[in-house]
Structure 1
C-alpha cells in the first residue's frame, strides 16, 4: 500500500466526496474487507456495498487483494491502494470537490478516533505520575489554535511528517526487539478555521 496516492481524475474526487464511500475507504485503509464484512459493519445491503466498491475500484482507489472460498462461495477481499490521498495540480480548480473529499475523510478519521478511544484498554489513560510535563504522561490529548501564515504552517507540516517518519523507522527497526514494546495509536488533524474556538489565546510571553 502506497503512503500517498496523487489523485489525477475528477471522478476520484467525486468518489471520495460521498460519505458512504469515505467510510468504506477508512475501513479499507485499515485492512482488507469483503463486501459481506462491510455490509455487516456499515449496516447496508450487499447490493449497495457492491455498487460503492465497484465505483471505488473503477476509480483506482481500491484493489482486489485476495480471494478465499468459504462454504462454496468465493469471497473477494478489497483494500485501499494508499493510506492517504492528495489531489494533483490539475484538479485544484475543482475546489468544491477537493474540499468535500478532504472533509469526508477527516470526518471518518474523527469517527475512527472516537471508536478507538472507547475500545482502548483502561490502562491507556492512567496517569502514573502527577506532572505538568506531557513527556511524563502515557497518552496525548490536546487542542491548539495558532495564528500563522500559510508558509509557516506548511513548514510545520514538513517537520511533523519528518518526525513521524523517524518514529515509524524506529517501529520498523528489526533490531528493536525490546519485550516492553507497546502499540500506540496516533492521529492528528490540523486545518484552517473561520474564527477562534478558544476565547483567549495562550500568552507565550508569560503573565496571566
Structure 2
C-alpha cells in the first residue's frame, strides 16, 4: 500500500465524495475485505456492494490483494491502494468536489476514531502516576485552537508528516518485539470559521 496516491481523474474525486464510498474506503484502508464481508458489515445487498467495489477498482482506488477459495468459490479480497489521497493540480478547478471528498474522508476518520475510543481496553486509559510530564502518559487527548498564517500552518503540517515517518520506522522496529503494543493515532487540523474556545484574560 502506497503512503499517498495523487488523484489525477475527476471520476476519482467523484467516487470518493460519496459518503457511503468514503465509509467503505475507511474499512478498506484498515485491512482487506471481500464483497461478502462488506455486505454483512454494512447490511447491504451483495449486488450494491459489488457495484461500489467495481467503481472504486475502476478508478484505481482499491485493488484485489489476494484471493482465497472457500467451498469451491474464489473469494476476492480488496484493499485501498494508498493510505491517503491528494488531488493533482489539474483537478483544483473542481474545488467544490475536491473539498467535499476531503470532508467525507475526514468525517469517516472521526467516526473510526470514536469507535476505537469506545472499544479500547481499560488499560489504555490507565494512569500509573499523576504527572504533568507527557513522556509518562499512556494516552493523549487534546484539543487545540490557534491563529496562524497559511504559510505557518502548512509548515506545521510538513513537520507533522515528518513525525509520522518516525512512527513508520518505529513500527518496523517493533514488529519482532514481543513486548510491543498496538497504538492508534488520529489527528484532524483544519481552518474553521470563527473561534469556539473563549479565553478570559485577567488583564483585559
TM range (shorter): over 0.9
TM-score (ref. length: structure 1): 0.92
**Cα distance in structure 2, aligned partners of 1:115 and 1:43:** 18
**Aligned residue pair count:** 204
Q: What is the CA deviation profile of residues 132-178 of structure 1, one whole-angstrom value per residue up to 9, with x for unaligned ones?
A: 2332210000000010011000000111111121122122137x855
Deviates more, 1:34-43 or 1:178-187: 178-187
More moved, 27-36 vs 179-188: 179-188
1 CA distance for matches of 2:173 and 2:137? 24
Q: Distance in 2 between matches of 1:46 and 1:178?
A: 40
SS of 1:86's partner is strand
RMSD: 1.9
TM-score (norm 2): 0.94
Q: Residue 184 of structure 1 aligns with which residue?
A: 183
Aligned to 1:59: 59
5 Å matches for 1:1-208? 1-173=1-173, 178-200=177-199
Going from structure 1 to structure 2, the CA distance change for 1:52 and 1:178 (only over 3 Å counts) comes to closer
Q: Distance in 1 between matches of 2:38 and 2:198?
A: 42
How far, CA to CA, are the matches of 1:177 and 1:13 in structure 2? 39
- Structure 2 distance, partners of 1:86, 1:105, is 11
Deviation for aligned residue 1:71: 1.3
State the distance in 1 between where 2:57 and 2:105 align: 17
